[in-house]
Structure 1
Amino acid sequence: MGNTAVVVGGGIGGLAAAIGLRRIGWDVTVLERASALADMGAGISLAANGLRALDELGVGGAVRAASRGQYSGGTRTPWGAWLARMDGSALEKAVGAPIMGIRRSTLHRLLREALPAGSLLMGSEAATVEEAGAGTVHVGYGASALEADLVVAADGIGSTIRGHLFPDHPGPVHSGSTVLRAITEHAVDLRTDFELTWGRGAEFGHIAFLDGKAEWHAVLGLPVGTRFADPLTELRRRFHTWHDPIPALLDATRPEAVLQHDVNELRTPLPSYAAGRIVLLGDAAHAMTPNLGQGACQALEDAVTLAAALGAESTVEAALARYDAERRPRSQAVARAARQAGRMGQQLSHPLAVALRDTAMRLTPSRVATRMILRHHAWSPPSLH
């Protein structure tokens, strides 16, 4: 088996894959089409499965040090009544770690710092990815090219490599929602680490950071492509009657800090995550709605599982078959669960359906809710040592 790889995409999944491959002795080049490190994005929650993957990659300690544990909070109604309380200590006892909140830009930086200088090529878009024979893959970018034993397609939900490998697949579809998010300009007086509030066809949530600032997000059921001329003013109009600290979070935000994008997903499961010596990872393989907070965690699981398979098998083809067999059932099951969570949460708009959901949540014992969470969080990574 050779030991050179090209990772297409310098996001969380791509960087994690590069780190994992280097830990098993591979030479790795990461191609990122963006020309500068804009570090866009707001916040992210990392569950125990994602943290364990980061531990195996050797960066878990640094990520934990930059994160804030989510020990308090839960789900509320727009007028502030609690539907479900979160017991972060019980979750930590059950799976060994609480959910952690971190800036996405900080996580990106920590992953980049784990790679040697020169391994991440910015402004380098993979124009062609083709099997070249003799067990190699040819990757053309700009006026340059690379020959590799493996190509990892971590090029996101709109993956061009996925489209090339599976031209009959319908690709990503709109979930029916759009999300707006931002990080506050200054610290906000928050009494909880994490909250979700569900209204009729709308959701508002926040994640608290170590420095007292917070990421907030608003999910709205809207047609694809809907945009607001002044997003922050629109959100103040929609959420001004919702409970504290929602108005305060919006007031602590600069208008230009608000990001908006449609929530898309790969609703039709892929028949395989690998073809020849090309393998799909992260959103390119299983882009899911954010309702379980598992998108990044599943990409991190992918990265460790891929590296472990390549370290254990005698051929790239055997390793990719093993990776596909291990990752496809689990990641697609998580994607289905995330879709269902959205349908039972923010996407509900009929008053009777909302009332029935709220009643069911109030009556669900906390131990039952914890068991439901454990289905996704209780994952142990294969060893890369």
Structure 2
Amino acid sequence: MSERTAGSTTGGRTAIVIGGGIGGLATAIALDRCGWQVEILERAPAFGEIGAGLSLWPNGVRALDALGLGDQVRERALTETEGGIRDVTGRWLSRTDVEELGRRYGPVVAVHRAHLLEILRQALPAAVLRTGTEVTAVEADGPRFEVRHSAGTSQGDLLVGADGIRSLVRRSLWPAHPAPRYAGYTAWRVIVDAGRRPTSGGETWGRGERVGIVPLADGTTYVFGAANAPEGQRSPDGELAEMRRRFSGWHAPIPELLAAASEDAVMRHDIYALPPLRTFVRGTTALLGDAAHAMTPDMGQGANLALEDAVTLAATLSAHSAVESALVAYDRDRRARTQMIARRSRLIGTVAQWSRPPAAGVRDLVLRLSPSAAMLKALDPALTWTPPTLNSLPRPS
């Protein structure tokens, strides 16, 4: 689609998707199956292993089912069998009734992020994804847009900004919007092969610090940690040493997992959230995923909402003859929901990161006294989402 304009001789509508992550790939799949010709521009020269796990909640799994990929993901995922929140001694503060959660909403599954990306990439024609293509400028004038990149220029009927929290599309077309804001804590992520995976997952809350454990289907374990810290701070002794310093005195199997981790597998990122946008669309441009509503990871909904965005965008475009009117409907559908979940996620993160003993003690007491049914009920707004009908065209034989 480079050097191509809308209404070209291709005979179908064309979409340029900037960003080849979960949201961008899912969007391309959904649009491709609805008859669009799609081009994904991805800066990375290749896709290597991404050392993080991912919990797919029932709403995200339903979005994958709508794309026809749910069964493939389940085959490479592990259904979570036990979870909740503990204190640093290992005492349960709140246990998730996983059986009831599954009955009410559907199962929660854990998957290696790299495996999900692989499934998404394989669902697309190889020519759709253009890696090693760095976008340098995005300009729009009414319904028309132009994307300039290292391989030339691209135009089409639809531009999708799926390029993450530091989105160039958002910065170019929403220049007055505030930058992402630091949430006050940093996070470490690592995949560990300790010889056997733990029998349960969940989070452990301390005083201004947290650890999460997510067993994965391949026998490895995804471990993440979070701690209140100044923005941009890094450990002079290495990030694995910092994790061990902070968390090795906590309950089993945290020390054993950290002992089995390797330094080069640890990633550290400060946590940011995007202030709410007044709209996710402009002309024939739409934002989705972190580009539209980057949030703290405290509800584990970031990737799930990006999958929802992708399915909803394609379905809405199929239901409207004009791209601009479809995007108005997409914005109306997605903005209120995603920003509500972002607010809830930020609130949970704030409470989880309380560091003063009196406040943290009251928090832990409230968690212990709260019935499991009430905790599940609080998930309703996020997990009850159902996908719109995706009018997919038959795949060529």
Same fold judged by TM-score > 0.5? yes
The partner residue of 1:125 within 134, 150, 158 is 134
1:89-100 equivalence runs, <5 A: 89-95=99-105, 97-100=106-109
1:77-92 equivalence runs, <5 A: 77-92=87-102
Query: How far apart are residue 200 of structure 1 and its match?
Result: 0.1
Give the TM-score, by structure 2 length. Answer: 0.93
Which residue of structure 2 lines up, in the alignment, with residue 16 of structure 1?
A: 26
The partner residue of 1:261 within 258, 269, 277 is 269
Paired amino acid for 1:374: D
Query: How far apart are residue 344 of structure 1 and its match?
Result: 1.3
Query: How far apart are residue 171 of structure 1 and its match?
Result: 1.5
Paired amino acid for 1:251: A
Comparing 38-47 with 299-308, which one deviates more in the overlay? 38-47
Query: How far apart are residue 88 of structure 1 and its match?
Result: 1.4
Which portions of structure 1, spanning 4 or more consecutive aligned residues, are displaced by more than 6 angstroms? none
Paired amino acid for 2:365: T
Which residue of structure 2 lines up, in the alignment, with residue 213 of structure 1?
A: 220
On the 8 A contact 1:272/1:324 being kept in 2, the answer is: yes
The partner residue of 1:65 within 72, 75, 85 is 75
Report the secondary structure of 2:378's partner residue. Answer: helix
Query: How far apart are residue 254 of structure 1 and its match?
Result: 1.0
User: Are residue 114 (structure 1) and residue 114 (structure 2) matched?
Assistant: no
The partner residue of 1:32 within 15, 37, 42 is 42
Gaps of 5+ in 1: none
The partner residue of 1:336 within 332, 343, 346 is 343
Gaps of 5+ in 2: 1-6, 392-397
Paired amino acid for 2:178: P
CA distance in 2, matches of 1:73, 1:141: 45
Which residue of structure 1 lines up, in the alignment, with residue 154 of structure 2?
A: 146
User: Are residue 233 (structure 1) and residue 219 (structure 2) matched?
Assistant: no
Paired amino acid for 1:153: G
Paired amino acid for 2:326: A
The partner residue of 1:322 within 324, 329, 339 is 329
CA distance in 1, matches of 2:218, 2:173: 44
User: Are residue 251 (structure 1) and residue 259 (structure 2) matched?
Assistant: yes
Which residue of structure 1 lines up, in the alignment, with residue 395 of structure 2?
A: none
The Cα RMSD (Å) is: 1.3
Paired amino acid for 1:217: F
The partner residue of 1:191 within 199, 207, 213 is 199
Deviations 1:131-154 (A, max 9, x none): 367x54222211411221000000
Give the TM-score, by structure 1 length. Answer: 0.96
Report the secondary structure of 1:148's partner residue. Answer: coil
Query: How far apart are residue 245 of structure 1 and its match?
Result: 0.4
Which residue of structure 2 lines up, in the alignment, with residue 379 of structure 1?
A: 385
On the 8 A contact 1:7/1:14 being kept in 2, the answer is: yes
Deviations 1:275-322 (A, max 9, x none): 011110100000000000000011111001100000000100010000
Report the secondary structure of 1:118's partner residue. Answer: helix
CA distance in 2, matches of 1:32, 1:73: 36
CA distance in 1, matches of 2:283, 2:332: 15
On the 8 A contact 2:85/2:93 being kept in 1, the answer is: yes
Query: How far apart are residue 162 of structure 1 and its match?
Result: 0.5
Paired amino acid for 2:233: T
Comparing 295-304 with 139-148, which one deviates more in the overlay? 139-148
Report the secondary structure of 1:228's partner residue. Answer: coil
> Compared with structure 1, are the counterparts of its residues 349 and 334 closer, same or farther at alpha carbon in structure 2 (3 Å cutoff)?
same
